[in-house]
Amino acid sequence: MKILVTVKRVADYNVKVYPKADGSDVEIANVKMSMNPFDEIAVEEAVRLKESGNATEIIAASIGVSQCQEVLRTALAMGADRAILVETGAAPEPLAVAKLLKALVEREQPDLVILGKQAIDGDCNQTGQMLAALLGWGQGAFASKLTLGEQETEVTREIDGGLETLILKLPAVVTADLRLNEPRYVKLPNIIKAKKKLLTTLSPGDLDTVLAAQLTTLKVAEPPKREAGIKVADAAELVAKLRNDVKVI
């Protein structure tokens, strides 16, 4: 069984980012970059499936600038067998990513695609669902538990009312949530070994896919600062402020 797992290069989650002076985007110059945390969980799950004997090959894929090779090497060090970079020069929109991944799936013919549920830079939470729709495959979004069989996979996901269990026929698309697993620490020998693993670079043209922008960013700005809280003497004063000042009741 072959698994395709996707990884994205984003600003490290420990780094505070700021908008550019012109408000066109987030400033990432000289900012530490790393693998998207949800994608790291997706890679870990793929590696665990291989270690348990449920998978035979793991392909890590990324879409973006040439520096995305860094996160692909990390995925290889975690246990992926080979990697593919679709170099686009800039981070494309979720629909464009889904179209490129669809072409990559048709090229590689994996039995299962695992993605992080969302990227911490755009927070769109769309690519996995779009990919499943384009492929016509079943999808299990926000997976907190994954059990893989020969012809189907069982996905447990958290919903407002508790837990929901889905049975998906393979091939399928799964997006990883925070509680699916805890990614392993990458050891130095594995990092060295990863440098020798195959990393293929493709272009959108190699996948017969044309990227067309569908979205326009109007402005990127920091959220307004929260005002300091106040104390009220009693419930009557609280109700009065909610009714007269805040006007929520």
Please report, for the chain, the start and end positions of each structural domain, with discontinuous segments joined by +.
2-224
Which pLDDT score, from 0 to 100, does residue 23 have?
Answer: 87
CATH class of the domain at 2-224 = alpha beta
CA distance 10 to 16: 12
CA distance 106 to 122: 26
Which pLDDT score, from 0 to 100, does residue 249 have?
Answer: 84
Which pLDDT score, from 0 to 100, does residue 32 have?
Answer: 93
Which pLDDT score, from 0 to 100, does residue 211 have?
Answer: 83
Which pLDDT score, from 0 to 100, does residue 217 have?
Answer: 87
Which parts of the chain register pLDDT below 50?
none
CA distance 71 to 65: 11
- Tell me if the pTM is above 0.75: yes
Which pLDDT score, from 0 to 100, does residue 5 have?
Answer: 97
